[in-house]
Amino acid sequence: MNILAGGASDMDTLMGVINLDYELDLLNELTYFRCGASVPFAGRYRIIDFSLSNMVNTSIQEVAIFARAKYRSLMDHLGTGGDWELDRKHGGLFILPPDWNDPTDISRGDLSHFHNNRDFFTRGRASHILVSGSQFISNTDYEAAFQSHLERNAEVTLICTEVNELTDEHSQCLRVETDEDGWVTDLSHDAGNHYLFTGVYILGKELLLDLVDDCIAHYKSHFFFDGIKEKVGKLKIQAHSHVGYSAYINSVESYYRHSMNLLDARDYRELFMKKPFVKTKVSSQPPMKYCGQANVSNCLLANGCSIDGTVENSILFRGVKVKRGAVIKNSIIMQRCTIEENVHLENVILDKDVVVTKDKTFIGAKEQPYVVPKRKVM
């Protein structure tokens, strides 16, 4: 059981919910066969690894994932949760697809997940809930936010971040306005506000269940917007700032840009080289193999790759084979792809198990990379 210093008792603990219900599959070809949370990222991870690792690194021992569609890939990746230390007798990892067995149920939207999986909350030992999506990428723990939530007697704590440059990916994010003491006064889509809500928030378990019941009774369909946003000024809602690396991935363009940014050693170190580390599914692969004609510069290369061509400014996932004479630049090549002789790829994203036959050329734009869905033979 997690015990916090400075006023928190052993009853003040967190359980986690990763709510994927309103995350639209906006990554085009990359989400044809999977939800956005299970899209591969950074050579050996999936997007959901960051939200899940942040929870585990906050000593959360009970995590539910609300998934509605295309979650087979997600289940295959997560398994029993052992790679995140969530394969345990008490608590652990729960992947909870929607359950419509109650004929009296009138809930709609993501409220159906909260309503139909109410026993997850009532059986859980924790007193508070940390709710997250998967599109906010960071490496952090939420101990300080939870401590502040308890010390200030807040009813809801929103994790927020300040961004220097607003891009298209931020258009979907709520902007947060606060008073001088950090209490939230408004949530809007003010295009000029750089202080963004990350989609991560903390609230008490009893309050969550009361808000769910109230929303359902009034035929609402969105827990956060109808249960929390509409009650700004009525609930004690504080903002807690996240400082450090962060990214939003909600489009192919943002996925490509943030992937390429990790080729900058500073960004890579800030996301992956500080403790506690991001966890992912363990895969046993042989070491990288550099063949006689290999020429590699400024790349992330996962284990199991075999390189006999030129690879520049690119990310290669596990088991990629690059044959002699092939040239890959500014591209993302996912698991087990084969790039045959004399292929030229530039500004390209290949999903898993793609084969590019010899002498082919595919060139996209940095602003709009060329994407090939999984298992294609080009």
Full-model pTM: 0.94
Together in a domain, 304 and 329 = yes
- Sequence-separated (6 or more) residues with CB below 8 Å from residue 304: 285, 286, 288, 318, 319, 320
User: How many Å separate Cα 326 from the centre of its chain?
Assistant: 33
Please determine, for residue 183, whether its predicted confidence score (pLDDT) is greater than 70: yes
Domain encompassing residue 26: 14-272
- The structure tokens listed for 271 are 């996301």
Which CATH number characterizes residue 362's domain? 2.160.10.10
Q: Which of 272, 305, 328 is the last residue of a domain?
A: 272
**Of 19-28, 223-232, 243-252, 356-365, which range is least confident?**
19-28
Per-chain mean pLDDT for the chain:
94
Together in a domain, 320 and 189 = no
**Of 24-28, 66-70, 305-309, 321-325, which range is least confident?**
24-28
Residue 50's nearest CA partner among 297, 247, 286 is 247
Which has the higher per-residue pLDDT, 348 or 7?
A: 348
Please determine, for residue 9, whether its predicted confidence score (pLDDT) is greater than 80: no
Together in a domain, 97 and 171 = yes
Together in a domain, 262 and 159 = yes
Assess if residue 314 is contained within a domain: yes
- The structure tokens listed for 106 are 């009138």
Please determine, for residue 5, whether its predicted confidence score (pLDDT) is greater than 90: no
Assess if residue 3 is contained within a domain: no
Q: What is the CA radius of gyration of the chain?
A: 22
Together in a domain, 337 and 234 = no
Together in a domain, 268 and 332 = no
Please determine, for residue 55, whether its predicted confidence score (pLDDT) is greater than 50: yes
Assess if residue 317 is contained within a domain: yes
Average pLDDT for residues 33-37, to the nearest whole number? 94
Residue 132's pLDDT is what? Answer: 98
Residue 6's pLDDT is what? Answer: 40
b (16+ CB within 10 A) / e for 123-151: ebebbbbbbbbbbbbbbbbbbebbbbbbe
Assess if residue 211 is contained within a domain: yes
Residue 247's nearest CA partner among 165, 365, 315, 312 is 165
- In angstroms, the Cα distances linking 116 to 90, 100, 123 are 21, 7, 14
Together in a domain, 71 and 200 = yes
Please determine, for residue 329, whether its predicted confidence score (pLDDT) is greater than 90: yes
Residue 195's pLDDT is what? Answer: 97
DSSP 289-333: EE-TT-EEES-EE-TT-EE-SEEES-EE-TT-EE-TT-EEES-EE
d(CA 354, CA 373): 8
Please determine, for residue 229, whether its predicted confidence score (pLDDT) is greater than 90: yes
Assess if residue 278 is contained within a domain: no
Taking only the tens place, the pLDDT of each residue in 95-149 is: 997 766 777 889 999 999 999 999 999 999 999 999 999 999 999 999 999 999 9
Together in a domain, 245 and 297 = no
| Residue 168, phi then psi, degrees to nearest 5 | -60, -35
Which CATH number characterizes residue 147's domain? 3.90.550.10
Residue 103's pLDDT is what? Answer: 78
Together in a domain, 119 and 232 = yes
Average pLDDT for residues 367-378, to the nearest whole number? 96
Taking only the tens place, the pLDDT of each residue in 233-277 is: 999 999 999 999 999 999 999 999 999 999 999 999 999 998 889
d(CA 347, CA 363): 6
Q: Which of 272, 302, 336 is the last residue of a domain?
A: 272
Together in a domain, 323 and 191 = no
For residue 11, name the pLDDT band (cuts at 50, 70, 90): low
- The structure tokens listed for 247 are 């990214």
Together in a domain, 315 and 260 = no
d(CA 60, CA 14): 6
d(CA 145, CA 216): 29
Residue 360's pLDDT is what? Answer: 97
Assess if residue 352 is contained within a domain: yes
Q: Among residues of the chain, what percentage have pLDDT more than 90?
A: 89
- The structure tokens listed for 17 are 């919910």
Cis peptide bond prior to 276, omega within 30° of 0: yes
Assess if residue 216 is contained within a domain: yes
Please determine, for residue 161, whether its predicted confidence score (pLDDT) is greater than 50: yes
**Of 6-15, 72-81, 170-179, which range is least confident?**
6-15
DSSP 48-98: HHHHHHHHHTTT--EEEEE--SS-HHHHHHHTTSGGGT---SSSEEEEE--
d(CA 321, CA 91): 41
Assess if residue 283 is contained within a domain: no
Please determine, for residue 310, whether its predicted confidence score (pLDDT) is greater than 90: yes
Q: Which of 242, 272, 302 is the last residue of a domain?
A: 272
Count the domains in the chain.
2
Report CA dihedral (52, 53, 55, 57) to the nearest 10 degrees: 170
Write out the H or E segment, with its range, that includes residue 184: strand 184-188
Task: Please give the biggest Cα pair distance in the chain.
Answer: 68
Residue 377's nearest CA partner among 349, 358, 357 is 357
Taking only the tens place, the pLDDT of each residue in 287-297 is: 999 999 999 99
By three-state DSSP, how is residue 7 classified?
A: coil
Together in a domain, 153 and 19 = yes
